[in-house]
Structure 1
Amino acid sequence: MLVEAIAAQNARTGSLSFDQINEMDAVWRAEIGALETPTIDGVIAAPASDFLRARVAEAGGLISEIFVMDGVGLNVAASGVTSDYWQGDEAKFTETYPLGSGAMHVGPLEFDESSQTFQVQVSMPIVDAAGTVIGAITLGLNAEAL
């Protein structure tokens, strides 16, 4: 499910310019807390996001959030609303996706605004059946539950 969702989004976003990506990110940020949130809803209401929410629920509090990024670092699916749409300028993406299969980034212990928990984010690339890196995934591990 996740691989298919990433591949479909990569087909739509792979040729976006830096300015277009920044514009999309600005729209997402402006929608946070707004009454109408079509950009956010497009991610949060996706079946892949339902799948991620189910994984968070099954984790019994250990995982506070999960989100998946496409090949340019834009959110494809998320268990909850992230504070921004574009992760492509952050270590969770820059230290995983470009480095290929087997790469991992473990972030510092921080208070995460979107999940309202102290967490450590662990990120890894996602590969398709051919072994090609197509995106990345980040799991927020709830430090208070460890």
Structure 2
Amino acid sequence: MSAISQSDVEALDAEWRQQRESQKRPLIAQVVGAPLSTFLLRQQVDAGGQFIEVFVMDVRGLNAGISSVTSDYWQGDEAKFQKTFGVGPEAVHFSEVETKDATGHRAQQISVTVTDPETGEKLGAITAEVNLDIAALYARSAQR
């Protein structure tokens, strides 16, 4: 998909946003049905509530795998992608801590560049949104 134009990327992003409000969701279903999405969902479940969502982006910043449906398809215009993939293989980006309205939990997104372990080539980026309150509970119980 890296050969598509920027206008195509923006059109896909707009389509994703429209599909979130629709019964017909072919683009979203394609990503949700990807084996990577199944793997990410398993990791989220196995983490016992520590992850709110986990998603992987390709070299354009488009969702390649998601544990839950994201608000948009294109992450390439956001810091989570620009400050990781755009910086290099060792880059890590921490978002500001925010309070989730629905739960009141504190959350933070942590993003890193995904690279090929053999070549070091940048393949994309991954973001995990961490529920800081649940993670703190796990940390406290591990110290006991």
Unmatched segments (≥5 aa) in structure 1: 1-12
Higher relative contact order (CA 8 A, sep 6+): 1
**How many residues get paired?**
133
SS at match of 1:83: coil
Q: Over residues 76-105 of structure 1, what are the superposed CA-to-partner deviations in whole Å (9 max), with x where a residue is unaligned?
A: 000000000000000000000021111000
Q: Over residues 89-125 of structure 1, what are the superposed CA-to-partner deviations in whole Å (9 max), with x where a residue is unaligned?
A: 0000000002111100000112568x99641000000
Q: 1: distance between equivalents of 2:104 and 2:18?
A: 19
Q: 2: distance between equivalents of 1:27 and 1:111?
A: 28
Instruction: Give every structure 1 segment of 4 or more consecutive aligned residues whose post-TM-superposition deviation is greater than 3 Å.
Output: 115-118
Unmatched segments (≥5 aa) in structure 2: 137-144
The normalised TM-score by structure 2 is: 0.87
Give the corresponding residue for 2:47: 59
> Bigger radius of gyration, 1 or 2?
2
Q: Percent identity?
A: 39
Alignment of 1:1-146 (within 5 A): 13-111=1-99, 118-128=106-116, 129-145=118-134, 146=136
The normalised TM-score by structure 1 is: 0.85
Distance 1:33 1:106, change over 3 A: same
Q: 2: distance between equivalents of 1:117 and 1:18?
A: 36
